[in-house]
Amino acid sequence: MAPTRLRARADYESLVDKYDTFLFDCDGVIWTGSTVIPGAPAALDLLRRRGKRLVFVTNNSAKSRQDYVQKFARLGIQAEADEIFSSAYATAVYLRDVVRFDTAKKAYVVGGSGVRHELEAVGISATGHADSALPIDLDSIRDVRADPDVGAVVCGLDYDISYRKLATAHVNLAENRDCLFIATNDDRTLPGGRYMYPGSGSLLQVLVHSTQRKPLVMGKPNAPMMECILQRFHLDPARTCMVGDRLDTDILFGISGGLSTLCVLSGVADEASILAPDAPQATYYTASLGDLAALAA
């Protein structure tokens, strides 16, 4: 069925009535970079007042949930750490609850402090963060060895990536087939102002190619993140709506999870791409999340 454009007040009332929980992508929906999208805070307030559960779903693994709460606060939006579901947190929850990761083992992290802090918060030792400070060359590389205590290699966006980290992750994955290979997300690029830069899905390719192994990818649009969210909040997919600006990540993510979806035009997708018959078919679309704020008037 073709996506339904929401326009009238009754359309928005009907949307809010139909769902108990709204999952939100953040960049392009609630803010763009460090600028809040007009009306978005008021729309979130309205949904809260109507008793809806809000979950903010982000592939960004560089920040911890506490860092995210601070970002929301700076933009004048109240949010709780429990409402934030980052790919780093999803990775930690997945290792603890789904894999039942042996906490006598540790995770080798090629990623930022967000991943490390979330793993540690669920009782999993994380290592690797200090390794980039050690230089490496053709001789000292021989000291990089597989460690039988490494039970998982976890990759995310890593501004501090180094050959030593990559080599250490590689030997653990190559020498120990039981070592899990998990990626927080596989975004090819990362927006950074005027340009795009390599995303964690690109950094990950070093190890995919060198080990010839495929990682389990947690983040949108992949299934593990959705499984974690549905399980964590005991959600009924039929009463849950995913709101996003990207068809190939957010909307596909919602569709794959059996959710309804709302695509907004304040980010990447435009109306033509939403209506293209070969695109993931959103349930609804509207100009901006701010449109819902009209219900408060």
- Active centre residues (catalytic): 25, 27
Number of residues that bind a copy of itself (CB under 8 A): 41
Q: Residues 179-218 vs a copy of itself: string with x where CB under 8 A?
A: ---------xx--xxxxxxxx-xxx-xxxxxx--------
Closer CB to a copy of itself, 187 or 250, in the complex: 187
136, two tokens? 């490496």
What contacts 74, CB < 8 A, 6 or more positions away? 34
Nearest to 256 by CA among 219, 286, 289, 287: 219
The owner of tokens 């995210």 is 68
98, two tokens? 């789904």
Strand pairing class (106-110; 84-86): unpaired
- Judged by CB under 8 A, the stretch of 1-9, 80-88, 143-151, 219-227 that binds a copy of itself is 143-151
What contacts 79, CB < 8 A, 6 or more positions away? 54, 56, 68, 69, 72, 73
* CA pair distance 257, 262, nearest whole angstrom: 14
- The neighbouring-strand residues paired with 200 are none
- Judged by CB under 8 A, the stretch of 41-49, 88-96, 137-145, 279-287 that binds a copy of itself is 137-145
Asked whether residue 71 is marked as a ligand-binding residue, the answer is no
Closer CB to a copy of itself, 146 or 279, in the complex: 146
* CA pair distance 174, 115, nearest whole angstrom: 22
CB 140 within 8 A of CB 114: no
* CA pair distance 288, 270, nearest whole angstrom: 11
93 binds a copy of itself (CB under 8 A): no
Residue 236 — φ and ψ, nearest 5°? -95, 115
Asked whether residue 220 is marked as a ligand-binding residue, the answer is yes
162 binds a copy of itself (CB under 8 A): yes
The owner of tokens 């903010």 is 56
Among 76, 133, 142, 177, binds a copy of itself (CB under 8 A): 142
176 binds a copy of itself (CB under 8 A): no
Among 9, 49, 50, 145, binds a copy of itself (CB under 8 A): 145
Asked whether residue 245 is marked as a ligand-binding residue, the answer is yes
Name residues contacting a copy of itself, limited to 96-135 (CB under 8 A): 135
Asked whether residue 214 is marked as a ligand-binding residue, the answer is no
* CA pair distance 20, 100, nearest whole angstrom: 30
Closer CB to a copy of itself, 83 or 187, in the complex: 187
Enclosing H/E stretch for 35 = strand 35-36
Name residues contacting a copy of itself, limited to 19-78 (CB under 8 A): 62
Query: 3-class DSSP state for residue 127?
Result: strand
Q: Report, in Å, the least distance between residue 127 CB and a copy of itself.
A: 18
Closer CB to a copy of itself, 206 or 265, in the complex: 206
The owner of tokens 């435009």 is 270
Residues of the binding site for Mg(2+):
25, 27, 245
Kindly list the residues in this chain that would bind a copy of itself in the complex (CB under 8 A). 62, 135-138, 141-142, 144-146, 158-163, 166-167, 170-171, 174-175, 188-189, 192-199, 201-203, 205-210
Residues of the binding site for substrate:
220
